[in-house]
């Protein structure tokens, strides 16, 4: 069986590891936005396919039996391209999507639908911002000259970005003690995050709750309807096993 995993997430790497251990041929596709990504087990390709039609042609040309969309919840159009390509190529598709976060007692969350909406909400919430939405999309905050930003990302951010900014190059998983110290040391008074879900970056939410810091949470974008969804890597492995 030949499987194509649209990856770039912790879950995608764990899935490739488990499937390869079962003797399944796995190719993981990475978008190529990170300079030095953590490579999964199995074969790896980097770069786009040329839209849904290009992906469909790749599926057919490489004899792919199953397609698994394990991309980041904010990966944009790739999930819709995957749904369209799977239909064109007549290849079963599964979406592996980690559940989103939910507020707990003591949280002060401000939900928005976009980075632009998050930027509009910030001036009324604080002046020292911990921005954890990645290096893509910093232009939405570039005009907020009166605010100071701690920007955490895997690779160095490029302009346009906020003028008063300190980059913090790091990647998860992060610890609760580490996030507590980060908020304290930088005197952060507002946190901005996307609803990425998962445990690797969740400690910042707990640290913000403990410190009484408001959190601006960007909601997830829409996803294709009618695609079966697995919430865990184990569920995705079981889905593959049922079709082996």
At residue 202, the pLDDT reads 95
Mean residue pLDDT across the chain: 95
At residue 32, the pLDDT reads 77
Tell me the helix, strand and coil percentages in the chain, rounded to 5.
Answer: 30, 20, 45
Structure tokens of 226? 């009618």
pLDDT at 160 over 90: yes
**What are the pLDDT digits (tens) for 6-19?**
998 999 999 999 99
What does the domain layout of the chain look like in residue ranges?
2-99+222-242, 109-218
pLDDT at 37 over 90: no
137 SS3 class: coil
Statement: 2-99+222-242 belongs to CATH 1.10.1380.10: no
Phi, psi of 122 (to 5 degrees): -65, -45
Average pLDDT over every residue of 41-51: 94
Instruction: Work out the pLDDT band at 75, boundaries 50, 70, 90.
Output: confident
One of 1.20.1250.20, 2.60.120.260, 3.40.50.720, 3.90.550.10 is the CATH number of 109-218, namely: 3.40.50.720
Helices (H) and strands (E) in the chain, counts: 7, 12
At residue 40, the pLDDT reads 92
pLDDT at 34 over 90: no
Q: How far is it, in rounded angstroms, from Cα 125 to Cα 21?
A: 48
Q: What percent of the chain has pLDDT over 70?
A: 100
Alpha helices in the chain (DSSP H): 10-21, 51-61, 78-89, 115-121, 176-185, 203-211, 233-242
């Amino acid at each position: 069986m030949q499987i194509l995993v649209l990856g770039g997430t912790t879950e995608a790497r764990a899935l490739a590891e488990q499937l390869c251990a079962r003797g399944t041929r796995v190719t993981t596709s990475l978008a190529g936005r990170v300079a030095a990504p953590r490579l999964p087990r199995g074969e790896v390709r980097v770069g786009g396919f040329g839209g849904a039609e290009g992906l469909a042609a790749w599926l057919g040309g490489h004899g792919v039996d199953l397609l698994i969309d394990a991309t980041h919840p904010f990966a944009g159009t790739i999930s819709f391209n995957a749904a369209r390509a799977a239909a064109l190529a007549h290849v079963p598709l599964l979406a592996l999507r980690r559940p989103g976060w939910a507020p707990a007692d003591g949280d002060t969350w401000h939900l928005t639908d976009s980075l632009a909406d998050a930027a509009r909400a910030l001036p009324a919430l604080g002046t020292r911002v911990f921005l954890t939405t990645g290096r893509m999309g910093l232009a939405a905050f570039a005009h907020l000259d009166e605010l100071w930003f701690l920007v955490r990302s895997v690779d160095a951010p490029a302009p346009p970005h906020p003028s008063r900014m300190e980059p913090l190059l790091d990647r998860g998983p992060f610890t609760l003690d580490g996030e507590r110290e980060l908020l304290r040391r930088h005197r952060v008074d507002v946190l901005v995050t996307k609803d990425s879900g998962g445990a690797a970056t969740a400690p910042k939410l707990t640290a913000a709750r403990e410190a009484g810091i408001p959190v601006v949470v960007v909601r997830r974008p829409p996803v294709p309807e009618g695609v079966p969804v697995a919430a865990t890597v184990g569920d995705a492995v079981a889905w593959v096993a049922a079709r082996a």
